[in-house]
């Protein structure tokens, strides 16, 4: 019986393909020689490789491609580099809605009547708004200037409910009037704008409190804008060293959308 068992093992091995292993003799493999199969319960039966569990369905959601800005809002970045590969999505929970504040409902260049809490703002598809028309310098934009990050609405149109979290482990190096700066251990810089700043100060009362781990609460999404208010959203930026024509790399704003798409897909995979 051992000989047959060995033969069975060999057959098992040869039935393993990159897509996974099928037990020999199963109808799927078309094995025409079931007599080679060890009997169930045979003590010499080789340990069959367990059938690979079914691959989880890839979780996706409707999202426009990177660089495809709202029509008329500017030309998007053409660079599709995954600048922050592996980062954690900067909001704790899904859903979240990456889209324009200025060109969305309730914005001053909105496509029609409606407030910021309009259900159409809290819906997919996602849309890139890095490089959206602004006067700020941005070397990654075709125009040389534009919106320096991505705007993301939380799950609901409520202030001080939804947590923003550290995209990677590192240190909070600055807390401004409406900007929280995280220097990641990778050397990348992440900036979180418009959080509930009073809550941020309560979380980080002193220097010793500012070392953070990936996924740690940084503050709640709000609309703080240094004494003014904006819409309820997280404006999220990434700054990273970018090679510059043979000289030293320059740390600059880089396109955020691809890293957000990547990290959100992974967040959905574990929470859905």
> Where do contacts with Zn ion occur on this chain (CB under 5 A)?
151, 235
Of 24 and 122, nearer to Zn ion (C-beta) is: 122
User: CA–CA distance from 235 to each of 113, 148, 221, 244 (Å)?
Assistant: 23, 9, 9, 26
How near is the Cβ of 151 to Zn ion at its closest, in Å?
A: 4
- The residue (of 64 and 151) whose beta carbon lies closer to Zn ion is 151
Count of Cβ atoms closer than 10 Å to residue 205 Cβ: 9
Q: State the Cα angle at 64 between 192 and 105, rounded to 5°.
A: 65
Does the N-terminal peptide bond of residue 228 adopt cis geometry, omega within 30 degrees of 0? no
Nearer to Zn ion, 133 or 258 (CB): 133
If the CB atoms of residues 178 and 204 are measured against Zn ion, the closer one turns out to be: 178
Ranked by CB distance to Zn ion, the top (closest) residue is 235
> What is the rounded distance in angstroms from the CA atom of residue 52 to the CA atom of residue 2?
26
Nearer to Zn ion, 88 or 235 (CB): 235
Rounded Cα–Cα distance for residues 8 and 35 (Å): 10
The distance of closest approach from Cβ of residue 219 to Zn ion in the complex, given in angstroms and rounded to an integer, is 16
Least distance CB 172 / Zn ion (angstroms): 20
Query: What is the Cα–Cα distance from 104 to 166, expressed in whole angstroms?
Result: 27
- Closest distance between Zn ion and the C-beta of residue 54, in Å? 40
CB of 207 vs Zn ion, minimal distance in Å: 28
Contact yes or no for 173/182 (Cβ under 8 A): yes
Closest to 150 (Cα-Cα) out of 237, 45, 64:
237
Give the chain's end-to-end CA distance (angstroms, integer).
47
In whole angstroms, how close is the CB of 127 to Zn ion at the nearest point? 13
91 within 8 A of 154, measured Cβ to Cβ = yes
- Shortest distance, position 244 Cβ to Zn ion, whole Å: 25
Six token digits for residue 232: 């309820």
The token pair that represents 183 in the structure block: 């220097």
Shortest approach of Zn ion to residue 161 CB, angstroms?
20
Looking at the Cβ atoms of 191 and 235, the one nearer to Zn ion is 235
Is it true that the peptide bond before 125 is cis, omega within 30 degrees of 0? yes
Q: State how far the alpha carbon of 261 is from the alpha carbons of 66, 101, 127, 182, in Å.
A: 9, 18, 10, 20
Nearer to Zn ion, 188 or 235 (CB): 235
Q: Which is nearer to Zn ion, 128 or 151 (CB)?
A: 151
């Amino acid at each position: 019986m051992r000989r047959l068992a060995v033969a069975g093992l060999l057959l098992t091995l040869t039935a393993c393909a990159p897509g996974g292993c099928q037990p020999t003799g199963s109808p799927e493999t078309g094995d025409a020689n079931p007599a080679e199969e060890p009997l169930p319960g045979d003590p010499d039966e080789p340990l069959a490789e367990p059938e690979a569990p079914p691959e989880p369905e890839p979780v996706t959601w409707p999202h426009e491609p990177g660089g495809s800005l709202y029509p008329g809002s500017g030309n998007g970045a053409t660079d599709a580099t995954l600048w922050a590969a592996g980062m954690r999505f900067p909001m704790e929970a899904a859903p979240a809605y990456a889209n324009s504040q200025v060109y969305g409902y309730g914005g001053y260049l909105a496509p029609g009547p409606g407030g910021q809490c309009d259900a159409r703002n809290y819906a997919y598809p996602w849309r890139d708004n890095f490089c959206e028309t602004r006067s700020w310098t941005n070397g990654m934009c075709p125009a040389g200037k534009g919106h320096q990050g991505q705007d993301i609405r939380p799950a609901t149109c409520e202030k001080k409910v939804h947590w923003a979290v550290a995209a990677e482990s590192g240190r909070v190096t600055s807390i401004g009037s409406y900007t929280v700066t995280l220097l990641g251990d990778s050397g990348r810089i992440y900036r979180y704008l418009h959080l509930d700043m009073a809550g941020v100060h309560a979380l980080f009362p002193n220097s010793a409190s500012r070392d953070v781990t990936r996924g740690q609460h940084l503050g709640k999404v709000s609309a703080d804008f240094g004494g003014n208010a904006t819409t309820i959203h997280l404006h999220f930026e990434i700054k990273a060293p970018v090679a510059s024509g043979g000289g030293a790399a320059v740390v600059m704003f880089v396109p955020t959308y691809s890293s957000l798409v990547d990290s959100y897909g992974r967040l959905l995979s574990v929470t859905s």
